[in-house]
Structure 1
Amino acid sequence: MSTEIEHLPSKLLIVDDLAENLQALEAIIRGENRLIYQASSGEAALSLMLEHEFALAILDVQMPGMDGFELAELMRGTAKTRHIPIVFVTAAASELNFAFRGYETGAVDFLYKPLEVNAVKSKVNVFVDLHQQRLETQRQVAALEYSRKQQEALLKQLQVTQDELQQSIAMRDSFMSMVAHELRTPLNTLFLDVQLRTLQLERGNLAAFGQQELVRMVERDRRQMKSMIRLIDDMLDLTRINSGKLSIRPVQLNLAELLERLVSDLMPQAQAAGYIINLSIQDRVAGEWDAFRLEQIIVNLLTNAMRYGNSQPIDISLHQDRDHAIIAVRDRGVGISELDQQRIFLAFERCEGNQVSSGLGLGLYIAGQLAEAHYGRISVDSAPGEGSTFTLTLPLRITE
């Protein structure tokens, strides 16, 4: 904007009913960085002034129809033209009333016929210089205003960046604290078990390592290591999601077979926790998905149901709706408030319900991101005390 103002030429308007006078005057005032417009009547002059911003108007006083004075009065009565400097051209140099009327109608100067070339050039140069100075002032004001707005925008952006940085630092500290806490529990258990076994070995008490005890030890170690692996996997997936490197490798997959296998694998864990999982397959849906990532989503929804289901039966169903597969996981547990439903799919958010939740609060966030990577989504329908239903909706094929 400042560049446009800086290079604008000064527009000059000359008004005379005689073409030879217009040509002579234009030849005198022609110059660099000037545009000269001609009008042979007051009406034509007014039309030009409504279209253009003029630095100066040079009006012949004695014109048929609308004379120069009448044109000047009309100019002074219009907001768009009242600021244009007016110089009258007249042959009546000796008539004081003539000059008085001219100044009364807004003239800033007079040119007397016959025109003296140097005087005309000098006067016009003054008005052109004033106009260019005014343009330069406007340019500087516009540049200052632009700079001010840029500074305001920069300050706002800096404030946003500072807030985001503080939020990131707080999230990092919270994340590191949660990771340390969640990893410490299985590590402490493993460490204590190792110390007890070492003590038994140092005492030569090999009887403490009978078959049944070894089975319990191995199972306990497996659970602790599985817990740590799950935490590490969540952290890795979070990093991949944040860096945009989460990859999806779709293959031809039968969802019914996948659900049957997952429910079979989870059944011992569910029964140990007092749960029954009911699987209902209405349609044996097949499509193209990433089998590993889809398993990750479904296992998360099922383990989430076992965490908050109050040992009540869990239902998982599958059906097809046009070109989408619908998987629903329903528990009959504590339920989720409407406010919590808005945040449970965010990173590090944990729905406490009536018990303390373990983990980093990444499960549903990662599941939601994986669903979106398949161009699908996860929704929840729940109310406190009435259980929850998580619904996974997936297109049959991933299309970008």
Structure 2
Amino acid sequence: MRTTHILIVDDIPQNLTAMEALLAQDGVTLLTASSGAQALELLLQYDVALALLDVQMPEMDGFTLAELMRGSSRTRHVPIMFLTASPDDPARSFKGYETGAVDFLHKPIEPRVILGKVSVFIQLHRQRLELERRNEQLERALELNQTMMAVLTHDLRTPLSAITLCADRLIDETEGSPLKRTASFVQTSAARMSRMIEQMLDFSRIRSATLVVDPQAADLGEVCDEVVAETRRAHPGRTISLSTAGDLRGSFDVVRMGQVVGNLLGNAVQHGEGAEISVHADGTRADVLAFSVRNAGRIPDALLPRLFEPFKGAFNPSTGLGLGLYIVDQFVRAHDGGVHAENSESGVRFEVQLPRRRKTALDREVS
């Protein structure tokens, strides 16, 4: 177990000796200083669980030392407990709390009281260190998993491309043969696996903070029209309508926004109970571009608050990875926009809103 450091600052040697004798225990190292300057030197060397500061000291009193500690990123988290022999003065106590103290004790101090209080901060410090250690382990494991996921999904694309090409050729060469149906199954499964691989790659980019958004002048209506046409070709039996309003020109990443529209349409096809799907793109507002996707059905109330979480298959039955809506949410956020879903009398409605012009880093500083 790592040792825990307690800092005691008092200009009277006898007081330091008494506090050392009182607070000595296994696993705890007591650091003593007879002045504020010595205390600051110790704080630069050690991670301290608690600082016990005498208020009345020459040159630098306890209040000044506390203010200096709060002004440093290294020591501002250290809990401070003031000790004073002065009469109980509410004004001095308030000043102590204003400088960041967690407690203000008057001498002579009851041993059991200070022992109990110090023990609490020792336990809190040890718990904080343990949490930091576990977080570091989790971050390393997550980084390793993301790296493995990226490598694995990248390596799967080459053989999958070969399978897709072979399936396409089999379909062409088995026209009128029972084998054509089998080849079609292979082609459909390969396309589904390709989408899953792309989702895993996007997930890896998002979690590793390597997702790149490239805003360019584009027309949201044209993006929606292209994706709707592609979805109609993939699902010839489904009715998908598209309507537009206003000026749909803006600045956004065409590829990412196409994925957003495609994922929402794919979700509607999967859960829309075979009924008509409606897509509406709205450019009637000066600073906002928006589009919505409507389909029949209803999102379970328990699922609605967690709809945009990744891997929803862990708590909600799904035929895919459960990443489609998570990717939608993250791509829209990357454009400084928002997406929400709601149930209505006519079914389910998803709406995406994004600024017509994405803010630059300079714009954010000015605002």
Normalising by the residue count of structure 2, what TM-score does the alignment of the two structures yield? 0.56
Residue pairs, 1:290-305, within 5 angstroms = 290-305=253-268
The residue number in structure 2 matching 1:130 is none
Which residue does the alignment assign to 1:388? 348
Say yes or no: does 1:343 pair with 2:303: no
Which SS does the other structure have where 1:329 is aligned? strand
- SS of the residue aligned with 2:279? strand
Select 2:127's aligned residue among 155, 160, 163: 155
Cα distance in 2 for partners of 1:166, 1:386 equals: 44
C-alpha displacement of 1:382: 1.0
Alignment deviations for residues 188-212 of structure 1 (CA, whole Å, 9 cap, x no partner)? xx79x99xx9xxxxxxxxxx95434
Please name the residue that 2:240 is paired with.
277
User: Is 2:216 the partner of 1:251?
Assistant: yes
User: Following TM superposition, by how much is the alpha carbon of 1:215 offset from its aligned partner in structure 2, in angstroms?
Assistant: 5.9
Q: 1:289 to 1:209 in 2, by over 3 A?
A: closer
Q: Choose which of 9, 16, 19 in structure 2 pairs with 1:5.
A: 9
| Kept in 2: contact 1:344–1:351 (CA 8 A) | no
Which amino acid in the other structure matches residue 337 of structure 2?
A: G
The one-letter code sitting in structure 2 at the alignment partner of 1:327 is F
Structure-2 change in CA distance of 1:358 and 1:373 (3 Å): same
Give the partner amino acid of 2:208. Answer: S
2:8 and 2:335 map into 1 onto residues whose CA distance is: 50
Indicate the residue corresponding to 2:295 in structure 1: 331
| CA-CA distance at 1:143 after TM superposition | 10
The offset of 1:268, in angstroms, is: 2.0
CA gap of 1:245–1:154, structure 2 versus 1, over 3 A, is farther
Q: What displacement does 1:304 show?
A: 0.2
Q: SS of the residue aligned with 2:121?
A: helix
Distance in 1 separating the partners of 2:12 and 2:347? 72
Q: CA contact under 8 A between 2:280 and 2:293: conserved in structure 1?
A: yes
Q: Measure how far apart 1:79 and its partner are.
A: 5.3
In the alignment, does 2:236 pair up with 1:264? Answer: no
Q: CA shift at 1:151, angstroms?
A: 3.4
Residue type at the aligned position of 2:222: E
The equivalent position to 2:325 in structure 1, one of 364, 377, 394, is: 364
Assess if the C-alpha contact under 8 Å between 2:312 and 2:318 holds in 1: no
How many residues in Structure 1 have an aligned counterpart in Structure 2? Answer: 253
Identify if the C-alpha distance between structure 1 residues 2 and 304 changes in structure 2 by more than 3 Å, giving closer, same or farther.
Answer: closer
1:372 aligned counterpart, secondary structure: helix
Say whether 1:287 aligns with 2:244. no
Q: Say if 1:6 and 1:136, in contact at 8 Å, map to a contact too.
A: no
Measure how far apart 1:166 and its partner are: 8.8
Matched residue type, 1:7 = D
Q: CA deviation at 1:276?
A: 0.4
Equivalence for 1:124: none
| 1:313 and 2:276 aligned | yes
| Shift, 1:223, TM fit | 2.1
Shift of 1:257: 1.1
Structure 2 gap ranges (5+): 15-33, 36-54, 58-85, 90-105, 362-367
CA contact (8 A) 1:256 1:281 kept: yes
User: How far apart in 1 are the matches of 2:185 and 2:221?
Assistant: 32
Q: Separation in 2 of the partners of 1:294 and 1:379? A: 16
Q: Secondary structure at the match of 1:339?
A: coil
**Percent of aligned pairs with the same amino acid:** 25
User: What displacement does 1:221 show?
Assistant: 3.4
Flag structure 1 segments of 5+ consecutive residues without an equivalent: 11-31, 34-51, 55-77, 82-133, 198-207
Aligned residue identity for 2:126: L
Q: Secondary structure at the match of 1:338?
A: coil
TM superposition shift of 1:5: 3.0
Is residue 358 of structure 2 the alignment partner of residue 398 of structure 1?
Answer: yes
TM-score, normalised to structure 1, is 0.52
Distance of 1:339 and 1:218 partners within structure 2: 40
Give distance in 2, aligned partners of 1:351 and 1:331.
24
**Residue pair 2:240, 2:277 contacting (<8 A) in 1 also:** yes
Provide the C-alpha distance between the structure 2 equivalents of 1:6 and 1:247, rounded to a whole number of angstroms.
55
CA-CA distance at 1:336 after TM superposition? 0.7
Mark the CA change 1:9 to 1:303 in structure 2 (over 3 Å): closer, same or farther. same
Change over 3 Å in CA distance of 1:80–1:252 after alignment to 2: closer
Q: Distance in 2 between matches of 1:150 and 1:392?
A: 49
Deviations 1:8-67 (A, max 9, x none): 699xxxxxxxxxxxxxxxxxxxxx99xxxxxxxxxxxxxxxxxx979xxxxxxxxxxxxx
**Contact map agreement 1:340 1:351 (CA 8 A) in 2:** no
> 1:270–1:277: 8 Å Cα contact kept in structure 2?
no
State the one-letter code of the partner of 1:325.
Answer: L
Deviation at 1:238, TM superposition (A): 1.2
Secondary structure at the counterpart of residue 312 of structure 2: coil
| Structure 2 counterpart of 1:225 | 190
Please tell me whether Structure 1 or Structure 2 has the larger radius of gyration of its CA atoms. Answer: 1
Q: CA deviation at 1:293?
A: 0.5
Letter in 1 for 2:330: Q
1:377 counterpart = 2:334:
no
